[in-house]
Amino acid sequence: MRQAFLVTIALGLLFNGQSALAVCTDDPTDPPDTTTPSEPVVYSDEIYISELLPNPSTTETTDEYIELYNASASTVDLTDWILADASTNTYELSGSISSQHYTVIYRSDSGIALNNTGDSVELKHPDGNRTDYIEYTESVADDTAYALSSDSEWYWTTTLTPYRANIITASESDDAPVTDENNTSNDESTTDNDGATDTTTEVHELSNEIRLSEILPDPAGADATDEWIELENIGSTAINLNDWEVQVGDDSYTLPDTINIEATDYFALPITVSGLSLN
């Protein structure tokens, strides 16, 4: 039978002319330390604050919201991520957010109140490091959201789009110029014998990579507010939808120049914007 035993070694030492006794012990039955150092946790840096609603016309204590967007190619676990405002109120997130999707955190859940005269919101990883931050300083009108546009700029918009791609409907003075990376134009001019240019004709090459991807004709909520039509960009570049038209029966809606769809991304057009009713 194998026996466990404790080995004790006594060594006689000479220290400053005096004898000393050093005792060393070892237990051969102790297993070696095979613990592998844990790898540091790497958190996604592609979760963005995408929309804020500080001043809903309904009940502020329940209907204010902060929207997040996952721009990455995979689902991200938001457990223990932190939202905070300028007054250092914090809220720990839970659950996950799918790739290219949105999640909305309402004030009734988070307790974070967005001031109507200016505030800030930051998103932090569980380790406390900030990953996104947005601040507004203006007074906020009823039902006006602060939204991140497809050109990565922030605008005030009167179109509220929780859980969906943002639609910027603001005054022209507030809109930034939009560059269409997909469409090209060629200018053709005719010149008379005197050398004067008479007319200029623009020829646009329009994309065929925008398609209808989903419709919601019978939502659980009210048809008059919750129906929507979804478009998808199946191409490899961003496409601007200026003057594109969506038609349902005899009714149609012309899209504004503030709508860009990024490559392989989606855009949801709510009935509250288009007025297009799905039977």
Residue 223 CB-density burial (10 A; 0-12 exposed, 13-18 middle, 19+ buried): middle
pLDDT digits 0-9 by tens, 79-135? 999 999 999 899 999 999 999 899 999 999 999 999 999 999 999 999 999 999 999
From 137, 158, 174, the end of a domain falls on 174
Partners of 146 in the β-ladder = 52, 156
Mean pLDDT in residue range 219-232: 86
Beta 245-248 vs 239-240: how paired, if at all? unpaired
Q: Looking at the domain assignment, is residue 14 inside a domain?
A: no
Split at pLDDT 50, 70, 90, the class of 211 is confident
Mean pLDDT in residue range 185-207: 44
Q: Higher-confidence residue: 157 or 33?
A: 157
Whether pLDDT at 3 is above 80: no
Split at pLDDT 50, 70, 90, the class of 72 is very high
Whether pLDDT at 201 is above 50: no
Domain CATH number, residue 60? 2.60.40.1260
CA angle 215, 272, 98 (to 5 degrees): 50
From 114, 149, 174, the end of a domain falls on 174
What domain count does the chain have?
2
From 128, 154, 174, the end of a domain falls on 174
| Whether residue 73 is found in the same domain as residue 106 | yes
**pLDDT > 90 fraction of the chain, expressed in percent and rounded:** 41
Q: Looking at the domain assignment, is residue 30 inside a domain?
A: no
Q: Looking at the domain assignment, is residue 8 inside a domain?
A: no
What mean pLDDT, rounded, does the chain reach? Answer: 79
Domain of 118 in residue numbering reads as: 47-174
- Looking at residue 192, its pLDDT comes to 44
Whether pLDDT at 10 is above 50: no
Whether pLDDT at 196 is above 70: no
Mean pLDDT in residue range 209-231: 86
pTM of the model: 0.56
Q: Looking at the domain assignment, is residue 62 inside a domain?
A: yes
131: amino acid identity, one letter? T
Whether pLDDT at 7 is above 70: no
Mean pLDDT in residue range 235-239: 85
Q: What is the H or E stretch that residue 62 is in?
A: helix 60-63
What are the backbone dihedrals phi and psi of residue 204, each rounded to the nearest 5 degrees, phi first? Answer: -105, 135
Q: Higher-confidence residue: 15 or 241?
A: 241
Whether pLDDT at 233 is above 70: yes
Q: Looking at the domain assignment, is residue 51 inside a domain?
A: yes
Q: Higher-confidence residue: 177 or 129?
A: 129
Split at pLDDT 50, 70, 90, the class of 182 is very low
Split at pLDDT 50, 70, 90, the class of 4 is very low
